[in-house]
Amino acid sequence: MPYGHCQVCLAYYPISGFQILPCGHGGCKSCLDQMFDSATKIGSCWMCRQDVHRSKAHRIHLELVDSKVAILQDTIEGLGRMDANVPSISVNRANARIKRTVDELECDNERADLLRQAIADFEERIIPIYTLVEVQAKEINRLQEQISQTQGTENAWNDIRESSRKKDVLITTLRSDLDQSNKDGRQALSVMEKLTTDYLALKNQNELGIEEKKKLEDDNRNLRGLLQRHAKAAQLRKHKVQALKEEIASLKERNETLEQSQSVVSDESLPVFLSDDYADENFPSSSSAQVASPVRNKSKFSGLSQITNDLHFADVDDFDSGMPGPGFSSDWKMSSATKPAKRKAESSNFPIPLNKRGQPTVSVQTGPVRLRRIP
């Protein structure tokens, strides 16, 4: 039975007398009993100082064999696994291991010599073949890499050739597009020149239009100012007409009062002639005298009535449309019975001259009673 060496007491015991801890270290049973505390059953490994319980220690359940037999069996299994893909270094290691195994075997010299001859034959015949195979394999790998590189280069050249062909097609297309662009550019230049000419013409027209607009705006402002002045003048004339109407009404009332008073005075101062007293005189008869005197008074008062009726303005214009234009003349005539002795001659300045505001520039006769000047 194999023996083991205890690292604590340095004694040799059978394998069955050893126990292994969870940390991997072990010792004899007597040393382990001393390592654990009797109360807690816990102790520390003397190698790694790891705390472990006494129940964790267990025996080694292994079947140990002779090392020479194990080495020989392992060497035989390794030789059985060797094939054409095994590297040469593994073959060399196998040769050295066979030699060591043969040296450790306890056999007669004849068998040892046969084994040594087999090993020498292995070294002379098998190892060079594996070495050559390895060299050839390396060369094959190198050639495969070169082929791969060559194929990659060929593929790159094919890609370059295909790219060049595509670029040729693209260059042809770009040249066609360039020619078309040049043609379009010339057409665009022609259109631009035409548009420039049209723009300059429109600009000149616009400038003329702007000047015309400014002129029209100035005219519009002038006309608006003139319209405002005419409106103010019309309003002023309207007020003046209203004042004249009021004055006419006042004059009419005064005229009626004057007519009534004159009628009363005329009736009171009418002379009565007796035919007996004035029969021998050269006077007209009483009937003719009585008739003539009223006729004279009637003529005098009829002229004033006519003036009043004429000043009544049955169809009076409110002058909203402005003063009468040039060439205006009145059809009203003054009665000859009411003309004063020193009345000035009728003005013959027709049409009436007006200023820019529509007002008369000379004196204008507006009625039979007196001369009036319109401001």
User: CATH number of the domain that 15 lies in?
Assistant: 3.30.40.10
Type of residue at 27: G
Q: Do 15 and 48 lie in a common domain?
A: yes
Q: Do 155 and 74 lie in a common domain?
A: yes
Q: Is residue 46 part of a domain?
A: yes
pLDDT for residue 271: 52
Which stretches of the chain score pLDDT less than 70? 1, 63-88, 90-92, 94-95, 101-119, 122-123, 125-127, 266-350, 366-375
Q: Do 39 and 98 lie in a common domain?
A: no
Q: Do 71 and 48 lie in a common domain?
A: no
CB atoms within 10 A of CB 299: 13
Q: Do 90 and 17 lie in a common domain?
A: no
Residue 32 lies in domain:
3-59
Classify each residue of 206-241 as buried b or exposed e, where b means 16 or more C-beta atoms within 10 Å of its C-beta.
eeeeeeeeeeeeeeeeeeeeeeeebeebbeebeeeb
pLDDT for residue 278: 42
Q: Do 19 and 50 lie in a common domain?
A: yes
pLDDT for residue 335: 53
Among 133, 160, 187, the domain-final residue is 160
pLDDT tens, 275-316? 444 444 444 444 443 433 443 444 444 444 444 444 444 444
Q: Do 31 and 115 lie in a common domain?
A: no
Q: Do 126 and 100 lie in a common domain?
A: yes
Please report, for the chain, how many H helices and E strands are present, in that order: 6, 7
Q: Is residue 188 part of a domain?
A: no
DSSP for 17-41?
A: GEEE-TTS-EEEHHHHHHHS-TTT-
pLDDT for residue 274: 42
pLDDT for residue 329: 60
pLDDT for residue 235: 92
User: How do 26-28 and 58-59 pair as beta strands?
Assistant: unpaired
Q: Is residue 100 part of a domain?
A: yes
Residues in contact with 104: Cβ distance below 8 Å, sequence separation at least 6, in sequence order: 68, 71
pLDDT for residue 322: 53
274 vs 35: CA distance, rounded Å: 201
Output 40-48 pairs: Cβ under 8 A, ≥24 positions apart: 45/21, 46/7, 46/8, 47/7, 47/23, 48/23
Number of domains in the chain: 2
Q: Is residue 144 part of a domain?
A: yes
Nearest to 90 by CA among 121, 50, 36, 130: 130
Q: Do 155 and 117 lie in a common domain?
A: yes
Conformation bin of residue 244: beta by default, left when phi > 0, alpha when psi is -120 to 50:
alpha
Q: Do 139 and 114 lie in a common domain?
A: yes
Q: Is residue 320 part of a domain?
A: no
Q: Is residue 375 part of a domain?
A: no
* Interior angle at CA 54, CA 49 and CA 59, nearest 5: 100
327 vs 351: CA distance, rounded Å: 4
Confirm if 252 and 314 have CB atoms less than 8 A apart: no
Among 121, 142, 160, the domain-final residue is 160
User: How do 18-20 and 26-28 pair as beta strands?
Assistant: antiparallel
Instruction: State pTM to two decimals.
Output: 0.24
Q: Is residue 91 part of a domain?
A: yes
Q: Do 9 and 89 lie in a common domain?
A: no
Q: How far is CA 315 from the centre of its chain?
A: 71
DSSP for 178-236?
A: HHHHHHHHHHHHHHHHHHHHHHHHHHHHHHHHHHHHHHHHHHHHHHHHHHHHHHHHHHH
pLDDT for residue 70: 64
Among 127, 160, 193, the domain-final residue is 160
pLDDT tens, 317-345? 444 455 555 665 655 555 554 455 444 44
Q: Is residue 208 part of a domain?
A: no
